[in-house]
Chain A
Amino acid sequence: MLITWCIPAKKKISIMTLLEIISSVFIITGTFFMLISSIGLIRLPDFYIRNSASTKALALGIGLILFGIVVYYNQIEIFIELSAIFFFIYLITPLSAHIIARAAAKSDVKFWEKTQNLQALEEYRKASDVEENSIPEENKK
């Protein structure tokens, strides 16, 4: 009995510090990806490369940060709200990047001089002309 009472009590880790540690890991990796996205906006040589790289890294970084916040709060209402943002961002960001790149290809934005396979782009452009294919016939005059 004397020996068991002399052993020091085990240090307990509360649930709050554990949640903080886990959410900090997610938030730090999320900001790392967002930093990569912003540095990529400065250093990459061409518009199309910048578009693709920064929007993809941005979506991933925001997803990780939001997940870290969900883990920190540990409540169901926060999870529902932030998963709504998550769903919306993952739906809209690639779509808007594609629309912008397509509009830029229509407006003859220059490619980087080292791009390959520009022949396929010309064929795509002829096959999917925006103005002819999507305006209904009664509106064309």
Chain B
Amino acid sequence: MTIVLYVVISILCINLILSLYRFVKGPVMPDRIVALDVFAGNLLAILALYAIVSDVREFIDIAVLFSLIAFAGTMTFAYYMVYTGKKKD
């Protein structure tokens, strides 16, 4: 099981780097929001899987709180884009 977990965690770390490519390149602002969303999701999965590798039970509680904060941040971003993005003539 540890071999599978090591391989899986390294694949998820590669996903973090790939989402950062879109964060840097993204020609539009919403591209960066989606890249952060994907980044947060991969980080959540790494956090939950690390709880099995290290036998520390509390990482799953940390994962619960992290998902709440990360997705709330994404929604706040989008809310501000809707209400302050338009230019007033």
Interface residues of A (CB under 8 A from B): 20, 23-24, 27-28, 30-31, 34-35, 37-39, 41-42, 47, 50-51, 54-55, 58-59, 61-62, 65-66, 69, 72-73, 78, 81-82, 84-85, 88-89, 92-93, 95-97, 99-104, 106-107, 109, 130-131
8 A–B contacts from the bound complex (CB under 8 Å): A34-B11, A34-B12, A34-B15, A58-B41, A96-B75, A96-B78, A100-B30, A104-B28
Chain B nearest CB, measured from A117 CB (Å): 21
Assembled-state Cα–Cα distance A96/B72 (Å): 9
Given A85-B44, A93-B71, A103-B78, 5 additional A-B pairs, CB 8 A:
A23-B1, A34-B45, A38-B42, A54-B37, A131-B86
Contact assessment for B75 and A38 in the assembled complex, using a CB-CB cutoff below 8 Å: no
Q: Is the interface of A mostly helix, strand, loop or mixed?
A: helix
Q: Name the B residues within 8 Å of A107 (CB-CB).
A: 29, 81, 85-86
Interface residues of B (CB under 8 A from A): 1, 4-5, 8, 11-12, 14-15, 18-19, 21-22, 28-31, 33-35, 37-38, 41-42, 44-45, 48-49, 51-52, 60-61, 63-64, 67-68, 71, 74-75, 77-79, 81-83, 85-86
Chain A nearest CB, measured from B5 CB (Å): 8
Assembled-state Cα–Cα distance A28/B63 (Å): 20
Contact assessment for B81 and A103 in the assembled complex, using a CB-CB cutoff below 8 Å: yes
Q: Name the B residues within 8 Å of A55 (CB-CB).
A: 34, 37-38
Assembled-state Cα–Cα distance A31/B68 (Å): 21
Q: Return the contact of A96 from the options B31, B42, B45, B74 (Cβ within 8 A).
A: B74
Contact assessment for B30 and A51 in the assembled complex, using a CB-CB cutoff below 8 Å: yes
Q: Name the B residues within 8 Å of A89 (CB-CB).
A: 41, 67, 71
Contact assessment for B71 and A62 in the assembled complex, using a CB-CB cutoff below 8 Å: no
